[in-house]
Amino acid sequence: MPKPSQNPLVRCKHFSWRLSRRDDLWYADGRTNLINVGRHSLGTRDKAEAMKLLHQLDQAQALKFGIIKSTDIKRDPGPGVSLVEGRRLYESHLSRPQIMGGVRRSTFRRYGPIFNKFEAFAARRGIGNFNQVDANCLTAYAGWLEQQEYAEKTVLSELVLIRQCVNWLAEAGYVAGHEPIKLKLQRVEGKRAYCYRPAEVQAMIDHCRATSTLGWLGNVIVALACTGMRIGELAGLKWADIDLDNRQITLTDETGHRVPDAERRTLKNGRSRRFPIHPDLLVVLNRLVRGDSYVFHGPRGKRLHPDKVRRILIRDVLTPLAERFTSSTGGKGFLDGRLHSFRHYFISACAANHVPERVVMEWVGHADSDMVRHYFHLHDEESKRQMNGVDFLGTAGRTSGDVSVSSHPS
């Protein structure tokens, strides 16, 4: 006979729930009902509080699956879940394992300041719990952020996070009788990084090769320009990722792998990718000495540290060469370039050389073609070259007195 479950079965008004504990937190499993209402974290270590939250969850799921209507619920504004407690519950939800939908550590750390900023705004407005956070509240918050001169992309990302938090709390039953917040938000394109020109990349490489202490940085620039990799990806590149015989590089996302946290590679979008080695990069790789498992190293032979590479690039390469490449448009110029600018350069160079967009997407690891287009920059020189290569008028154009015949292809 099967061993009876040690987890108690609790029959609420609408569904039955199997309670269990994991990492000291209480969970409610409702997947054995006629309607699969899923498994949810109750976000508490206290059993009494878990029972109270379970009944709220039961009602929320009944509302979600149409068993009851919102008009059937007796609305009790009550104190609701506080901003501090609601944030803790949502952060606990976000920090679950990535394989279960949790966010990356870097993303989790980025959310902290956003919550801090919203809590400061709410305190000035006398808002102390999530029952009071609705569309009107977020509209006022957006206006306050704009008054503080935050960029539109920042305003959008913060509104999305707070809305997601409130809606999750309501769906999980922590905020009773709260309708999902619906806001019409427009997608905002942030300011793009500067994109280097071919002559600028060549000058940087020549400068590094002519400076005895910067040879390592010249190798890094070649790799970034010829692969479009992010500096974090390049810093973690190992010889095991490189197949010199077949001239291929494989970047594997190791999110679900049994690898120590310090060594685990996590790619930004979670997608592994494979791309060929360009001949110019192959020359560099064949010259490198294999001192350890990592391919590229800093000035003292240690593993690359992205922030140190950035500082040295600005101080020892961009600044000395800045006078050679001044901006005539008044916008971003050579000195505004950064390590990520090489990713923009790679994608723009691929487009200028007619590499199919789908191929570029595979090389850089983007599933969205709009993201690839975001990286594409059309410089004036390339724009003129492409324009001069188009034959709009045929032989009629060659008879025009003001148009040079050489501007048309033969």
**Residue 239 CB neighbour total at 10 angstroms:** 13
- pLDDT of 287 strictly over 50: yes
How much is the pLDDT for 406?
43
Confidence of residue 311 (pLDDT cuts 50, 70, 90): very high
How much is the pLDDT for 73?
61
What share of the chain has pLDDT > 70, as a percent? 79
- pLDDT of 373 strictly over 80: no
375 to each of 5, 190, 238, 363, how far by Cα in Å?
54, 12, 26, 13
At 146-155, the pLDDT tens digits run 888 888 888 8
Average pLDDT (95-119) is: 84
Average pLDDT (292-306) is: 92
Q: How buried is 66 (Cβ within 10 angstroms: 0-12 exposed, 13-18 middle, 19+ buried)?
A: exposed
More confident residue, 375 or 163: 163
How much is the pLDDT for 119?
93
pTM to 2 decimal places: 0.58
Q: Which of 337, 352, 347 is nearest to 370 (CA)?
A: 347
How much is the pLDDT for 244?
93
At 76-88, the pLDDT tens digits run 444 568 899 999 9
At 242-254, the pLDDT tens digits run 999 999 999 987 6
- pLDDT of 189 strictly over 80: no
CA distance 347 to 351: 6
- pLDDT of 121 strictly over 70: yes
CA distance 374 to 363: 15
Query: Which of 56-65, 99-108, 316-325, 353-362 has the lowest average pLDDT?
Result: 99-108
Average pLDDT (137-154) is: 88
More confident residue, 401 or 194: 194
More confident residue, 151 or 159: 159
CB 346 within 8 A of CB 360: no
Q: Copy the structure tokens of residue 28.
A: 């409610």
Give me the residue label for tokens 């006398």.
126
Confidence of residue 56 (pLDDT cuts 50, 70, 90): confident
- pLDDT of 170 strictly over 70: yes
At 255-271, the pLDDT tens digits run 655 656 556 677 777 77
- pLDDT of 179 strictly over 90: no
Show Cβ contacts of residue 67 under 8 Å, excluding neighbours closer than 6 positions: 14, 35
Mean predicted lDDT score pLDDT of the chain: 82
Confidence of residue 409 (pLDDT cuts 50, 70, 90): very low
**Helix (H), strand (E), coil (C) string for the chain:** CCCCCCCCEEECCCCEEEEEEECCEEEEECCCCCCCCCEEECCCCCHHHHHHHHHHHHHHHHHHCCCCCHHHCCCCCCCCCEHHHHHHHHHHHHCCCHHHCCCCHHHHHHHHHHHHHHHHHHHHCCCCEHHHCCHHHHHHHHHHHHHCCCCHHHHHHHHHHHHHHHHHHHHCCCCCCCCCCCCCCCCCCCCCCCCCCHHHHHHHHHHHHHCHHHHHHHHHHHHHHHHCCCHHHHHCCEHHHEECCCCEEEECCCCCCCCCCCCCCCCCCCCCEEEECCHHHHHHHHHCCCCCCECCECCCCCECCHHHHHHHHHHHHHHHHHHHCCCCCCCCCHHHCCCCHHHHHHHHHHHHCCCCHHHHHHHHCCCCHHHHHHHCCCCHHHHHHHHHCCCCCCHHHHCCCCCCHHHCCC
Average pLDDT (212-219) is: 95
- pLDDT of 405 strictly over 60: no
- pLDDT of 408 strictly over 60: no
